[in-house]
Every structure is written in structure tokens, then in C-alpha cells.
């Protein structure tokens, strides 16, 4: 049991608690509020009137798949042999001993969505995991929460430029995706008919690993997760998702501020980043921290991501701070790295806000990390355990 006292608590549901306490039992928040007495035998953290927030969440990174300080030996995020690989599962490449997980915890990031890179038109599934553990099965909040797809320069480069094979053009990317979705649609329809029958009148469709992995997508149990920077790529991803009636989240969305009116019409969840750093390729030439403010002010659900290791995972709060410096409302900035990514990933029943019954994942900062450059993490708690202490 854990008892935290003297904390300014940002619950992300309602108003902040100026001088609050949290009681944790069996890894869950048992009580949160003011004037809560210390339970007998509880371990005590005195927050010293410092800021306590939900654990930060990055909904799109590659932590554990592209290891820190490694070469090809630890680069396990792109299967650059076949542009269509929906059967891959990011969880099977995650190395819990990647140093980036330690960096995440030290930076107050307690949960991430991590998975395949963007070399392939279809890359496989992302996993939602806690940033603490020795075995990824135990770290997983949701082993598969989205199917990665990619548009634009990355598939064109990894195949068209490097291997002189399709996809060479954006047309080929779209066509390859459509072909796979058409096949998956038919496979799923046949599987549905078989499962609804008495299984004597219908024959089960011949098993196909790629098609079977797309059944949750076609049944709308899992969204597509669309890597797209350029405005036309963003809208192509939406067009194809709409053709098949599928759910989709828009990842990176670098040109989102240029087409905000169109994005409002579609009202898809958006994950913006990595914005910090140089413009490394033509399709990110319009990169700006203004994007988050413009999309949020338009009423869209937005999260901020690091795309780690592109930006170090511990810099997530810095990225939110840069968006606030560009005019984003501070409370909205907090939502972009706590509540919103949890909702987009489908794990908001456990993390993202501080409420009774949810996982006891929270961070105590020496100041406000979104506005104070020298604010430090004093404690990080995951599942009720102190996993980092300054």
C-alpha cells in the first residue's frame, strides 16, 4: 500500500486538487482527494506540494524495437523484404531491456504505443505497453491495438529507390493497400458466414496468415494507424479507410494545419510529431509546432508523440511545452500527453487520468515540465510501485 500526501494533483478529470492525497492498493488508485488519512502500514511519499500528474503517454514510438546504442543487431522495426506484412506483431520485437524504457521512466513516461516502422505499406500491429518490466507479456496493456500502414516517402524509398521494386509511386502504395483490404474483406465475410453457420453447411476459408491478421481491422475491432506527413497522403489514407468503412488514426500529420477544414469534416484522431528537430526530408518541410494548436483549436482529438528514437522518449513533455510556447492552451497540452493518447489507443479504462479504480501510474515533478525547462521528475510510480526516484 502507498500513501502520497502534500501533492498538487492534476487528475485530468475536473479541477486540480491543490493539496491532495492518493491512496494506492494492489496497484490501483483506491482513493484520491483531500483530507485522506494515511492507512496503517502504508509506504509514504511526501510530494512537498509539488505537481503530481498521470503518467505521460506516447501513442506512437518505436521504443524497444529500435534499440538505443545498437546497429542492425537491434533494429527490429522494419521487415524490408515484403511491403505488405500485416501478420507481424510489434510485441514480438520489443526488448524490455532497451535503455529507452529507463529513459522513459526517468522522463515521466509510463506507457507507450510502440510497434513497426514505416518502411512497409502494411507493417504489422502496435502494442500498448508499460515502460517497466522484464517480460513484455507482463508489460502489455493491450498486445495489439492498431495496424500500422504507411504512405509517402518511406515505402517509396525502401522499395522503389533502394530495391527498384514496387512501390515506386504513391499510386502503387494505395493500390497495394487496397488490394490487401479487398482480400481481407472477402476473407472476413467468408469467416463471418462460417462462424454464424452450424459449420456443416459452410466451409471455413483456407487459412491465410496475412488475411487473418486483418480480421480485427475489418471487424472494426482495431483501427488502421496511418503514417502520413504530406497533405495528399493524409487525405489518401482517409479516402481508403472510408472506402472500406474502417477506423483510422492519423499519425504524424505534419501538413495537418494546411487541411484543418478537411480534417474537421472527417473527425479522425490525430497524433502529431515528431516536431522537434530538423526537417529531414521533403515531406516534412512544413513542420511546425503551430500544427497542434491549430488542430486542437478546431476541436479535433490530438496527441503529441516523439516517434522515439527520432526524439528521445524522455523529451515528450518538452514537445508538449514547445506546442504551448507556440500558443497551445496549457491544459490542452497536458491532455495531448495523457488523456488523449490513452483514448486514441483504447486504454483509457486503465491509464491517462487519475481516478479511483485505474492503474496507479503517476509522476511527481519539481515544477511544471510543460512551462519550466528546469522541472525534474522526482518520482515515477507504475502500478503502485516506485520505479524511479531522484
Tell me the pLDDT tens digit for each residue of 227-262: 999 999 999 999 999 999 999 999 999 999 999 999
Tell me the pLDDT tens digit for each residue of 108-142: 999 999 999 999 999 999 999 999 999 999 999 99
pLDDT tops 90 at residue 64: yes
Give the Cα separation of 250 and 227 in Å (integer).
Answer: 7
pLDDT tops 90 at residue 201: no
Tell me the pLDDT tens digit for each residue of 100-112: 999 999 999 999 9
Q: What is the pLDDT of residue 68?
A: 86
Q: What is the pLDDT of residue 378?
A: 98
Give the Cα separation of 242 and 246 in Å (integer).
Answer: 6
Give the Cα separation of 107 and 365 in Å (integer).
Answer: 10
* Residue 249 DSSP symbol: E
Domain span(s) for CATH 2.30.40.10 in the chain: 1-54+353-390
Q: What is the pLDDT of residue 67?
A: 87
Strands (E), the chain: 2-9, 17-25, 28-33, 43-46, 51-54, 56-61, 109-114, 122-130, 140-150, 224-228, 248-252, 270-272, 302-304, 362-365, 377-382, 385-389
C-alpha cell at 385: 510501485
Domain span(s) for CATH 3.20.20.140 in the chain: 56-351
Tell me the pLDDT tens digit for each residue of 276-320: 999 999 999 999 999 999 999 999 999 999 999 999 999 999 999
CATH number of the domain at 56-351, out of 3.40.30.160, 3.20.20.140, 3.30.1330.10, 3.40.640.10?
Answer: 3.20.20.140
CATH class, domain 1-54+353-390, is: mainly beta
pLDDT band, residue 356 (cuts 50/70/90) = very high
Give the Cα separation of 231 and 46 in Å (integer).
Answer: 48
Q: What is the pLDDT of residue 131?
A: 98
pLDDT tops 90 at residue 69: no
pLDDT tops 80 at residue 199: no
Q: What is the pLDDT of residue 202?
A: 81
C-alpha cell at 83: 511491403
Tell me the pLDDT tens digit for each residue of 11-47: 999 999 999 999 999 999 999 999 999 999 999 999 9
Give the Cα separation of 104 and 337 in Å (integer).
Answer: 13
Give the Cα separation of 16 and 8 in Å (integer).
Answer: 7
Give the Cα separation of 86 and 123 in Å (integer).
Answer: 6
Evaluate whether 37 touches 323 at the Cβ level (below 8 Å): no
Q: What is the pLDDT of residue 123?
A: 98
Looking at every residue in the chain, the average pLDDT score rounds to 97
Q: What is the pLDDT of residue 56?
A: 99
Q: Give, to the nearest 10 degrees, the angle between helix 231-244 and helix 170-196.
A: 20
Quote the Cα angle for 52-291-300, to 5°: 70
pLDDT tops 80 at residue 1: yes
| Residue 122, CA distances (Å) to 219, 286, 333 in order | 17, 25, 31
Evaluate whether 239 touches 259 at the Cβ level (below 8 Å): no
Amino acid at each position: 500500500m502507498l500513501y502520497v500526501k502534500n501533492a498538487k494533483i492534476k487528475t485530468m478529470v475536473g479541477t486540480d486538487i491543490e493539496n491532495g492525497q492518493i491512496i494506492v492498493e494492489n496497484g490501483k488508485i483506491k482513493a484520491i482527494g483531500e483530507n485522506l488519512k494515511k492507512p496503517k502500514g502504508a509506504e509514504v511519499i511526501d510530494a512537498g506540494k509539488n505537481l503530481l500528474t498521470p503518467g505521460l503517454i506516447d501513442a506512437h514510438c518505436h521504443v524497444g524495437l529500435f534499440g538505443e546504442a545498437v546497429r542492425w543487431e537491434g533494429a527490429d522495426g522494419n521487415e524490408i523484404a515484403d511491403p505488405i506484412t500485416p501478420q507481424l506483431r510489434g510485441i514480438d520485437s520489443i526488448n524490455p531491456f532497451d535503455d529507452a524504457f529507463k529513459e522513459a521512466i526517468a522522463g515521466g513516461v509510463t506507457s507507450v504505443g510502440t510497434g513497426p516502422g514505416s518502411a512497409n505499406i502494411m507493417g504489422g500491429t502496435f502494442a500498448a505497453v508499460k515502460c517497466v518490466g522484464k517480460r513484455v507479456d507482463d508489460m502489455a496493456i493491450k498486445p495489439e491495438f492498431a495496424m500500422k500502414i504507411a504512405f509517402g516517402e518511406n515505402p517509396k524509398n525502401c522499395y522503389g529507390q533502394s530495391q527498384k521494386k514496387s512501390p515506386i509511386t504513391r499510386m502503387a502504395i494505395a493500390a497495394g493497400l487496397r488490394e490487401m483490404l479487398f482480400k481481407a474483406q472477402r476473407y472476413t465475410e467468408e469467416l463471418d458466414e462460417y462462424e454464424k453457420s452450424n459449420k456443416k453447411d459452410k466451409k471455413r476459408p483456407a487459412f491465410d496468415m496475412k488475411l487473418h491478421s486483418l480480421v480485427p481491422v475489418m471487424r472494426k475491432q482495431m483501427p488502421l494507424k496511418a503514417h502520413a506527413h504530406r497533405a495528399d497522403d493524409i487525405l489518401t489514407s482517409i479516402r481508403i479507410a472510408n472506402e472500406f468503412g474502417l477506423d483510422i488514426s492519423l499519425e504524424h500529420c505534419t501538413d495537418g494545419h494546411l487541411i484543418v477544414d478537411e480534417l474537421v469534416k472527417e473527425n479522425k484522431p490525430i497524433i502529431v510529431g515528431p516536431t522537434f528537430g530538423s526537417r529531414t526530408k521533403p515531406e516534412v518541410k512544413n513542420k511546425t509546432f503551430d500544427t497542434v494548436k491549430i488542430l486542437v483549436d478546431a476541436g479535433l482529438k490530438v496527441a503529441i508523440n516523439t516517434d522515439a528514437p527520432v526524439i528521445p522518449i524522455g523529451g515528450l513533455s518538452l514537445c508538449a511545452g514547445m506546442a504551448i510556447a507556440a500558443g497551445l492552451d496549457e491544459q490542452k497540452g497536458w491532455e495531448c500527453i495523457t488523456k488523449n493518447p490513452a483514448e486514441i489507443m483504447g486504454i483509457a479504462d486503465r491509464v491517462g487520468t487519475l481516478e479511483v479504480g485505474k492503474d496507479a501510474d503517476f509522476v511527481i515533478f519539481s515544477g511544471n515540465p510543460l512551462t519550466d525547462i528546469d522541472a525534474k521528475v522526482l518520482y515515477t510510480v507504475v502500478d503502485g510501485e516506485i520505479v524511479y526516484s531522484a
